[in-house]
Amino acid sequence: MPAPAASQDDLRPRPDTPVEVWLPTAPALPLVCDSPHSGTAYPQDFGHELPLPLLRRGEDTHVHTLFHTAPAHGATLIAATFPRTYIDVNRSEADLDPAQIDGAWPTPLQPGPKTQQGLGLIWQHIVKDGVSHPLYTRQRTAAEVRHRIEHYWRPYRTQVQKAIDTSVQRFGGVWHLNLHSMPSDVYLRLGRTDAPPLADFVLGDRDGTTCAPEFIHLIGDTLRGFGYSVAYNEPYKGVELIGLIGEPARGRHSLQIEIRRPIYMDEETRAPNAGFAPLQQHLEQLLGVVAGYVRARMPERA
C-alpha cells in the first residue's frame, strides 16, 4: 500500500465489505493490529446533514495504510472500511442514549461519558474550532441503529475477536495494537484549557492495566528514538477494545496508539503530506521491533 493520493480516496459505499483482514505473510506471530476508525466508505443510508469535508474530520484517515507491512512481520491486520461517524466499533453496542433512538430498544442501554458528549456508538455531532455541528436533524430509528450494529459493528468485532482467539489458542497469548490518529485540536475538542502540548504519539494502556509496562515502554522508547515526542495515557487512555482484550496477567497485552495527524496528512483535505513516507518507514521499523519482542516471548507451546 503506497501513500494514497487524496483524489483517489474511495468514499463509495462498500456494504459487502465492512471489514478487511490481512493475514500474516511471514511466519505467524501472536500479534494483532486493528484500525477501527480509518474507514472511508460512506454507507448510502447514513442520512447525515453535514458536508463531507466536515464529516471526514471524524476519520483516522490512512492509518491502516501506515501500518500496511504488519502482515510481513507475522501480524494480522484488520481495518474497518466504514467511518466511525456512522457507527463506532470502539464503543459498546449498549453505549447509546435512548433519546437519540426513535422507537423502543429491546435490551438495556448503558450510555457512557462519550455518549453524553455525543460521541458514543452513534455519533451525534462533529466539532470544529470549538463549534458543535449536529450530524442529524432527526432521531435514528431503532431499525436503522440495529442495521448498523448487525451489518457493520458486529462483523468488525467478530474479526477482531477471531484474530485474538486464534492467537491465544495457538500461542497461549497475544499482543494487540489498537491503531488511531488524533486531531491537532484534540484538547479544544475535549474542552481542556490546562492542556500540555499535544505529543506526536499518545500510547494508552488504561493507566497500566491492559499490557505489561515493558511492552508500552518498548514502543514509546522506539518512537522517541526516531525523534518523536511520546505521551502515555494523556489525553487518551484507550477505550472499549483494549479494555476487553488486555489481560496482562493472562498473557494478553493490548495498547492503543494515537498519531498526531499533521505528522502525516493535511487535516482539511485528508491528503498525505511530506511526512507520510518517513512516518511509514519508521512504523515499518517499529513493527520489526515489536515482532522481535513478541517472538522472543512467545509461550513454549508455539
pLDDT at 175 over 60: yes
Question: In angstroms, rounded to a whole number, what is the distance separating the alpha carbons of residues 24 and 166?
Answer: 13
Q: How far apart are CA 295 and CA 302, in angstroms?
A: 10
User: What confidence tens digit (pLDDT) does each residue in 22-45 have?
Assistant: 999 999 999 999 999 999 999 999
* Mean pLDDT value of segment 74-87: 98
What's the Cα-to-Cα distance from 186 to each of 11, 137, 190, rounded to whole Å? 25, 26, 6
The C-alpha cell of 44 is what?
448510502
Of the candidates 159, 122, 125, 151, the residue with the CA atom closest to the CA atom of residue 57? 125
**Confidence at residue 5, expressed as pLDDT on a 0 to 100 scale:** 44
Q: What is the average pLDDT score of the chain?
A: 93
Q: What is the pLDDT of residue 177?
A: 98
Mean pLDDT for the stretch of residues 101-110: 94
The angle formed by the CA atoms of residues 40, 161 and 125, to the nearest 5 degrees, is 35
Domains located in the chain, CATH noted: 6-297 (3.40.630.40)
How do residues 222-277 score in pLDDT, each as one tens digit?
999 999 999 999 999 999 999 999 999 999 999 999 999 999 999 999 999 999 99
Residue 281 pLDDT more than 50?
yes
pLDDT score of 196:
82
Q: What is the largest CA-CA distance in the chain?
A: 56
User: Given the DSSP bridges, would you call strands 230-232 and 252-260 parallel, antiparallel or unpaired?
Assistant: unpaired
Q: Helix (H, G, I), strand (E, B), or coil: what is residue 80?
A: strand
The reply to whether omega before 30 is within 30° of 0 (cis) is no
The pLDDT assigned to 207 comes to 97
Contacts of 273 (CB under 8 A, 6+ apart): 262, 264, 265, 266
Using 50, 70 and 90 to split pLDDT, how confident is the model at 149?
A: very high
What cell was used for 75? Answer: 501480524
Banded pLDDT at 108 (limits 50, 70, 90): very high
pLDDT at 8: 42
Per-residue pLDDT band for 186 (boundaries 50, 70, 90) equals confident
Cα–Cα distance between 176 and 255 in angstroms, integer? 6
Residues 6+ away with beta carbon under 8 Å from 223: 200, 201, 230, 282, 286
Name 126's bridge partners. Answer: 133
Q: Is the pLDDT reported for residue 2 higher than 70?
A: no
Give the model's pLDDT for residue 302. Answer: 45
- The answer on pLDDT for 301 being more than 80 is no
